[in-house]
């Protein structure tokens, strides 16, 4: 028996149309899971890759900054697949400005998308998972779950919040069959980090601190998600797994 096999599981991945979410969805599908993509836009490219891996894909559209649609995502999944085994809370945004100029809108938008929706979608999923006494929730945290960052106050607050929430939910649900963990990606080449990579000085400084000597590629993240979604992680709870090329070790 392969402890990492996800055959027969259903995994919901938010923000699965692009970047890390797309890569996570495809990795889970290749490990055997059927996939529910949640995205603001068409996730057809991800769905095609999931189907090419021989798995089924349900595409749901949602704006995750609005809480009222979240329970419906779980209901639609159950109506289609009959179960939800894995939730990956990946969707997230970032806004950059000096703290002294930071606006309330840039605070609220980021906190709502990156933190508030993580809690309320996890709650909706857990109401189903607790009935079955089985489920895996994986939150996408950040290096800024550990560090302060610069010019990203709401992002740092949200990702530090995700780390705390991961531990709180693990404390409440670990004894009830649900594993709640997080993955903290280091610096990955996606839309989220485009501004950093375009800034010659920041790009050079960041690369100089990564022991692996390169930016992460979205495919670098899949193995950690498959692990945390699988039976191999049944006794792993409230952990924040850094996948960072060594950034935090520096």
Name the site residues for ligand NAD (rule: CB under 6 A).
15, 17-21, 39-40, 62-65, 90-93, 113, 140, 142, 185, 187-188, 190-193
Closer by beta carbon to ligand NAD, 18 or else 123: 18
Closer by beta carbon to ligand NAD, 103 or else 191: 191
Tokens of 72: 């419906």
Task: Return d(Cα 155, Cα 9) in angstroms, integer.
Answer: 32
> Annotated catalytic, 187?
no
Beta strands 135-140 and 34-39: pairing type? unpaired
Sign of CA dihedral 200, 113, 151, 103: positive
Least distance to ligand NAD, CB of residue 169, Å: 17
Catalytic residue selected from 81, 119, 155, 247:
155
- How many other C-beta atoms are found inside a 10 Å radius of the C-beta of residue 21? 27
Contact (Cβ atoms closer than 8 angstroms) between residue 195 and residue 151 = no
Closer by beta carbon to ligand NAD, 131 or else 217: 217
Task: Return d(Cα 192, Cα 178) in angstroms, integer.
Answer: 30
Q: At what angle do helices 19-30 and 44-52 cross, to 10 degrees?
A: 20
Least distance to ligand NAD, CB of residue 138, Å: 12
Least distance to ligand NAD, CB of residue 20, Å: 4
Closer by beta carbon to ligand NAD, 164 or else 175: 164
Least distance to ligand NAD, CB of residue 190, Å: 3
As annotated, the active-site residues are 155
């Amino acid at each position: 028996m392969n402890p990492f096999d996800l055959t027969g599981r259903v995994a919901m991945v938010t923000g699965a149309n692009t970047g890390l979410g797309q890569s996570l969805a495809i990795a889970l599908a290749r490990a055997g899971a059927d996939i529910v993509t949640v995205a603001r836009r068409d996730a057809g490219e991800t769905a095609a890759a999931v189907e090419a891996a021989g798995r089924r894909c349900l595409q749901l559209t949602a704006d995750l900054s609005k809480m009222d649609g979240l329970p419906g995502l779980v209901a639609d999944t159950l109506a289609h697949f009959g179960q939800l085994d894995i939730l990956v809370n990946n969707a997230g945004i970032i806004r950059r400005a000096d703290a002294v100029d930071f606006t309330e809108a840039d605070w609220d938008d980021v906190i709502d998308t990156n933190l508030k929706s993580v809690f309320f979608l996890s709650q909706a999923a857990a109401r189903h998972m607790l009935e079955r006494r089985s489920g895996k929730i994986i939150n996408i945290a950040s290096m800024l779950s550990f560090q302060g960052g610069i010019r990203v106050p709401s992002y740092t607050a949200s990702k530090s919040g995700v780390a705390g929430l991961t531990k709180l939910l693990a404390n409440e649900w670990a004894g009830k069959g649900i594993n709640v963990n997080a993955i903290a990606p280091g610096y990955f080449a996606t839309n989220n980090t485009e501004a950093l990579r375009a800034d010659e000085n920041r790009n050079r400084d960041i690369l100089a601190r990564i022991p692996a000597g390169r930016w992460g590629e979205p495919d670098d993240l899949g193995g950690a998600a498959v692990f945390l979604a699988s039976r191999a992680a049944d006794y792993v709870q409230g952990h924040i797994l850094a996948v960072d090329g060594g950034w935090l070790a520096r």
